[in-house]
Structure 1
Amino acid sequence: MNADRKLLKARADLLLRQPFFGSLCLRMVPHEDCTCNGTWTDGKTLAYNPHFVDRISHEELQGVLAHTVMHPACQHHKRRGNRDARLWNMACDYSINWILLEAGFTLPDGFMDDEKYHGKNAEEIFTDLTRNFDQAGNPEIGKQQDGPKRIDIEYEDGKGEGNDLEAGEDDERSPTGEDGESSTEGIDSEEIEDSEGETDEEQSADPGGTGEVRDADDAESGNGESGDETDKDWLQALAQAVNLARDCGDLPGGLERFVQTMLYPKVDWRELLDRFISARARNDYAWTPPSRRHLHLGMYLPSLSTEQLPEIVLAVDTSGSIAPDELDQFATELSSILETYETTVRVLWCDLEITGEQLFSRADLPLELQAAGGGGTDFRPVFKWIEQNYIDPACLVYLSDMECGQFPEHEPDYPVLWARTGGGGYSPPFGDMIDVC
């Protein structure tokens, strides 16, 4: 079987066996590259050396594909900055390989895994790895180990495992410069023209041999920094892949935690709610009193009198998943918003349909939310109700456990914030999400 057909079969089997990884893999365009040692990606391209593909098993190839797509899923192609490309790849490998092993993948010999790095991000691991380099920039190396080759640095506490591979060599011995692009320095020209997939690993920017990450193609020349802080297309693809995987079965625990970290970083939900709603406030100005900042110049200008906020719609999932104390917490935060802004809050209670409606203003403080309804969950009726009643809200806040995949087909014109309880459920196809806990 030639490399192209073998790669095609591996991608198809990956989609059937692990739909999360398979759906992400289909986002990238395969490209044959005989100058690389194995595979690499910049978030758009899935480049591969056909000799490398022919040499590894079908199971190992699926593991390499899953490993390679995890790099852009983790935004590794956007986060390197001016860090050493080879050491950055090592750190990225340590941050994701344990997740792949937990998910049941087989990786080629030489993959990097160390329990001390489980659950840590690439930046933390990179910092720890750099502590093990001497003043000349050379790492301390352990002894060759029997069995599957693992390329680890011997740590200062003496607990690391490793072999005589000198990770993090100078640029003279590395095929990548700071910009992450291939370099021919120090490598035989015939090998560059058609590498057999067995280039000296000391020279490779992928010392683990499981798939290299290169900077996104919008990186600024010379320093590896990307033009955007995040690749929003990949974050959206990540959310879609999660929903697909959940429809087919549960995600492995490590992968579940990874997704939560990438899509929903831990910030106090009260701060996020206040920040989300405050961004929709409109300033209102009045001539009495005038702005004191300009009086000494003889200029009479209006001053800021109040901050006004158009109507907020709060939708509450009444399927029985929202506990009374969670409802009380949310009522307290909404009361604070009504104290700050001259606005109204329209509460829609919904399960499979709209089961109740309440309208609150500052005169109704403090808010007391009383659930109405119960049963199943469908998110679509709320959006349909807003449209049919010609409501133009400043934003919609939807309080739910997200244990429902019935979302509207189209994103509305107004901002949507999903306030999730319980920490599980589906990822929304649009809007922002915070965890209420």
Structure 2
Amino acid sequence: MSDSEYQFWKNDEIKPDKIVQVIGEDVIYENNTDNVDLEEIENKLTKARTQLILDKPFLGNLVLRLPMKAAGSWCRTSATDAKSFYYNPSFIEKLDNHQTKFVLIHEALHCALTHFARRGNRDKHKWDLACDFAINPLLVKEGFRPPLDVPIFSKYESMIAEEIYPMIDDSIDTEPMDQHLYDDNPKDDADESDGGMREDSLDGQKDDTSSKGQDNKPSQGNSNSGDLAEQPSPLTPDEMQELSSRWQKNLASSAQLAQQAGKLDGEFAKLVDFFLQPQLSWQSLLAQYMSTLARDDFSYARPSRRSGNAILPSLRSSQIDITVAIDTSGSITQEEINEFISEINAIKSNMRASITLIACDEKVDDNLIWRFEAWDELQFPASLGGGKGTNFNPVFDYIDEQDSPSSVLIYFTDAKGKFPQFEPNYPVMWLVKGKEPIPWGSRIQLN
């Protein structure tokens, strides 16, 4: 892994303590509570949560939903099971106030964004990393400071875990900054990560230590040992479903409180809108929208005189002209374009529609405009070109220059570009990848 791929938070004035062991890119803290005042650590966390409530009520309310529990030796940094916030006291002791807030919010967002219920059949290690990589750039952008050596991928900014997951190399050797306890059932590899360090590696270390006659449990003389939480069991499917519903309500109520206080804006406002919108597939929403444009209906228009004098309802059909624009600025993958083309083709087969397909990044090239009549099959062109910046104006300018207006424009994009100043007189539907807003038209979420 090259240094250019990572951006780390660094502070040269801070020197690592002797109890910190660096294994690759993982920072491991010994959970030695003999030398840690648990009450002082709890007060430190409580102070950070109180400040978040006052300064960032949206995040503060989410953090308050997780009871804090000092953890036993199994916890290397921090962890969550979507029910509680677990922490290594030695780890928290080394953090300053800003870093403590970062860790608290990080665990709360794993829960609020229901990462525990969204993995499906994905590889656990890569999914855990994707969830971390989705949260960390967001927090840094909002001014929060992460613990030392936490990787921040700026290229994943404004992306969700599902978008990041396929971009992570299968051979990546980094580990999540925390432990995701809600899901401890790797699908296809016993060496999958549970965060901090891989669980089987930890078990192996424990076995090796035990074989040498060393006791891993807190010593009998440790007065804090009875206060430390044991590692919880992974969630059952029923628990995941119940907690997913509960955290969606927590997200909505926290957003409402923050809005009432006038303190919900920026990336977190986009985040709330994104995750609280109806969870319907974009294919279903697109089909519903297109069906409203179909003009197959009964008509009472006066028929030809050859039909007689009676005016009876008859089924009339007229063709609609659809313009489809694809943002080729580099943020849309080949797989997504193929899926989109297939869906448009399926919808087209159910109605009389001609389609003009336009590929555009910052300009429209005449060689990147294709016309498909109602009887033609929509086929994917050999190349869509693109890869530059994003400007939506050229597509609208092209439509305005045509002899007949478009029945509807469907724009497939990440919505990161220059919009026309005024809304056109024909309907525009934006199929958006990501969380960016649109100034007008209908928006359908692609993720």
- Answer whether TM exceeds 0.5 for this pair: no
TM-score normalised by length of structure 1? 0.44
TM-score normalised by length of structure 2? 0.43
